[in-house]
Amino acid sequence: MKTAAIYIRVSTDSQAEEGYSIEAQKEQLSAYCVSKGIKQYEFYIDGGWSGSNIERPQMQRLIEDISADKISHVIVYKLDRLSRSQKDTLYLIEDVFNPHGVDFVSLNESMDTSTPMGRLMLGILSAFAQLERENIRLRTRMGMKERVKSGLWMGGGRVPFGYDYDKEHGVLVPNRDAEKVRQIYKLYIQGKAPQEIANLLGLKYDRLVYQILMRKSNYGVIEYNGEEYQGRHEPIISKELYDVAMRCMLERKFVRANTSEHLLTGLLHCGKCGAKMRYQKWGNKGCKLVCYSQQKSKLYLVKDPDCDQERVWADEVETAVIRSVFEFANNYKPSETESLAPDDTVALLYEQQRTLNKKIKKLYNIYASEEDNEILLETIDELKKKLGQINEQIDLNTKDDSILARKRERAELLMTVNELWDTMDAGQRKHIIRKLVNKVVITDSHVHIDFSL
C-alpha cells in the first residue's frame, strides 16, 4: 500500500517565528490528511535547508521513494516549501511526480492535482515552463549565432576531422590528422577515387572522404544555419585548393552521369540480405549483378558477410525489368487527377478570390457612408465565409500541386514509353526507369520490381 508523503522545510529561525515552524506545518498537514481520509502518511523534514535547490537530504529520500513507487501523494504547506525555484518545482511535478502517478497538494495555494482545478493550475505552470524552455532555446540559438559571427566554433558536438576543440579559447586547432586532410585534397585532385583514398589513409569508408572534401571549415570558414562566417581558427588548406577540389568533383559527377551505360545502377537490392547490388564485369560475356555483402571493397555496405545470393547476368535482369515496365504501362489507366489536360483549378480559385475581395471592399465602403445597414453587414459576412472556403481550397490545391505534378509526369511516361523506347538513348532510358521504378529486388534468379506509382 502506498504512503502519502508530507514534506516540510524550514530554512531559518525567522521563518519559524512567522508560522512556518516544523511543528506548525506538521499540525496543519496531518489535519489535512485526516480530513481527506488519508490514514497512512510519513513526514519528510528538511530543517535548516534553503529552498534555492533540491539538494536536500529528505528531498532526495522523497525522490528515491517516489521512483520506487512507494508514494501516492506529496503534500506541502506552501508551494515555496517544496522549492523557491520555479524550474525545480516544475521539474519535481513534471519529471518526478507525474510519471509515477503521484498527486501533489499545496494547502496555501489550494492546489490539488487530483482535482480538475488542480490539474488546470498544473497545466498553466507547465505552459509557463514550456515558454521558459523555448526562451532558453531562443537565447541559446541567438548566443550561438553571435558566437559564430565573432569567429568562434559552435562548441561541443562533432569536431571536424583534422581539428581539436580548444574550449578555453573557443577555436578549432589543427591536430595530427590535419596532414591527412591535406593528403585527401592532393590525392583527389590527382585523380584518385574516394575509396582508394580511404584505403590509403586508413579511413573507414569513401563517404568520409567526400565529407572532409566538402567541409569549408578546412579553409577557415564556419557554416551555421546556411550562413558563412570567417572563423578565427587556423585553416588546414587554402580556399584556392578547396575550389580546385570542388571543380574536380563537379567534373567527375558529370562524367559519371554521362558515361555509365548500366540501366539499373542504384536501383538494385539483394532479396536475401537487403544490401545493394552492383554491376561487375564478367569476362567477355558481359556483366553480372553482385551483392555488396559479397564484396570487401566497401565494408560499410555489407549487410551479411555470409550472404549466398546468386550472381545473375545483368542483361537478363534488365530485359525482365523492361518487359515488366511495358506490361505495367499497357495495363495502366490514369485516374482523373492524373489527366493530362491542363489544370486550371488553382487559377480559377485565385480569380474568385480577387473578385470576392473586391466585392467585400466595395461593400465596406458603402457601409461606411451609411449610418446603419444590417443587410450590408450580413452580406459582407456571407462573402467573407465564401472567401474563407476558397482560401482553404487554394491551400489544399497548392499543397497537393507538386504531388499531382509528379503523378501526371509518371502517367505521361507510362502512356508513351512503349512507342518511344526504341528511339531513346541510354541516358533517356535510365531517366525513364528511375521515374517509374523505386527499386529492383533480386533473390537468386527471381526479380521483383517495386513501381513508384
Catalytic positions: 11
Written as nine digits, the cell of 193 is: 577515387
Backbone phi and psi for residue 226, each to the nearest 5 degrees, phi listed first: 80, 0
The full length of the chain comes to 453
In DSSP notation, 156-209 reads: SSPPPTTEEEETTTTEEEE-TTHHHHHHHHHHHHTT--HHHHHHHHT-S-HHHH
Residues 6+ apart with CB under 8 A from 432: 413, 417, 421, 424
Closest CA to 379 of 401, 361, 405: 361
Backbone phi and psi for residue 253, each to the nearest 5 degrees, phi listed first: -65, -40
Closest CA to 10 of 22, 19, 18, 23: 22
Closest CA to 338 of 432, 419, 429, 453: 453
Closest CA to 418 of 317, 322, 344: 322
Backbone phi and psi for residue 252, each to the nearest 5 degrees, phi listed first: -70, -40
3-state helix, strand, coil in the chain (%, to 5): 55, 15, 30
The helix (run of H) or strand (run of E) holding residue 257 is helix 239-259
Written as nine digits, the cell of 135 is: 526562451
What is the rounded CA–CA span in Å between residue 401 and residue 419?
28
Written as nine digits, the cell of 209 is: 572522404
| Sign of the CA dihedral running 19, 21, 27, 33 | positive
